[in-house]
Structure 1
Amino acid sequence: MAAHFPINHHLRPLYRLLCILAGLYMLVFGVVGFVQTSGNEFFTQDDAEWVLGLRTNPAFALLSLVAGVVVLGANLIGRNLAHHINQLAGIVLTIVGMGSLALMQTEANIFAFSMVNVIVTFILGGITGIASLYDRVGSAAAAEAEEQFRRGPRTVSETA
């Protein structure tokens, strides 16, 4: 079963703005976190620092910086690139949040996640994932065709 996303949704600019803000937060967190933890071991758990409300080590800061650049860049470019990147980011952030939740109290917690990190990861995944449901763009004809498909074939009684 193929997914049918609305094309040219009237709230698309709002969802794009929310993803830009999410990407900007990830980017700023990554830069500040990487600068603040630059002297620490890459995957340290003991010397992890608190940056912008989240616990981080250099590895997680660098990962956040890259994710922020990708999400922010895709949403600044727009078009359907943003749709696909937001969809992927929503899925990946949700999986990372679940994995980090499962590994939080173990030695496998290589990104030094705390419960706050997990919650923020789920929030960012939710923002980007939900935005991907409504940020697809296309021609007016493609939007009309998608709307007709979504509503299904019209019966004779509906047209009269």
Structure 2
Amino acid sequence: MPHFPVNHPARPLYRALSGLIGLYILVFGVYGVVQTWGDGLFDRGPNYALGLRTNLAFALVSVVFGIVLMIGASRRGNLGHYMNLTAGAVFLITGILMMSVLQTSANFLNFSMSTVLVSLLFGLILLATGLYDKVGSEEHAEEERRRRNHPVSGVSSH
């Protein structure tokens, strides 16, 4: 079982980072919806929002994802922790999958290489924030620190 740091002192910074990513994604999505309104849902035209290629489907998904990330960043419990871990994995997987279909008709979200790179970067940042923003009781945090800083019990030096 993985041992995530509990009550990490930089947790507010990590939550702020995930909130800023969520805000960027929300603004990108809203701007993208405005730019692509009236086009087909999966149109592959030259539509850009905040420097990244988009279509109506990608813009709508971005609005939803931006709202979800901002909600996760605003919660004090572990909801944000799990949302960031999940969102980080989704962004990494989406970036890799969309990179593999960039030059094909399967590029239904109208990604470009710059969109792939931003997706991978956001995925790594969200995954990192998810690793360090777990909340728990002080007893739980102390137990995690003790487990992390001490050798495994029961190992003899004979």
The TM-score, its normalising length taken from structure 2, stands at 0.93
Structure 2 counterpart of 1:132, which letter?
A: G
2:134 is aligned to 136
**CA distance in structure 2 between the partners assigned to 1:153 and 1:113 by the alignment:** 47
The TM-score, its normalising length taken from structure 1, stands at 0.92
Residues 5 and 134, structure 2, Cα contact 8 Å, conserved in 1: yes
Structure 2 counterpart of 1:87, which letter?
A: L
How far the C-alpha of 1:150 sits from its partner, in A, is 2.0
The count of aligned residue pairs is 153
**CA distance in structure 1 between the partners assigned to 2:24 and 2:152 by the alignment:** 46
1:6 is aligned to 5
Structure 2 counterpart of 1:68, which letter?
A: G
Structure 2 counterpart of 1:24, which letter?
A: L
Question: Structure 1 residue 120 and structure 2 residue 118: aligned?
Answer: yes
2:38 is aligned to 39
1:158 is aligned to none
2:87 is aligned to 89
How far the C-alpha of 1:81 sits from its partner, in A, is 0.3
Match 1:60 to one of 51, 58, 61: 58
**CA distance in structure 2 between the partners assigned to 1:5 and 1:117 by the alignment:** 30
Match 1:101 to one of 89, 95, 99: 99
**CA distance in structure 2 between the partners assigned to 1:79 and 1:128 by the alignment:** 17
How far the C-alpha of 1:48 sits from its partner, in A, is 3.8
How far the C-alpha of 1:77 sits from its partner, in A, is 1.6
Residues 37 and 48, structure 1, Cα contact 8 Å, conserved in 2: no
User: Among the aligned pairs, what percent are the same residue?
Assistant: 46
Where structure 2 has 5 or more consecutive residues not aligned to the other structure, the ranges are 154-158
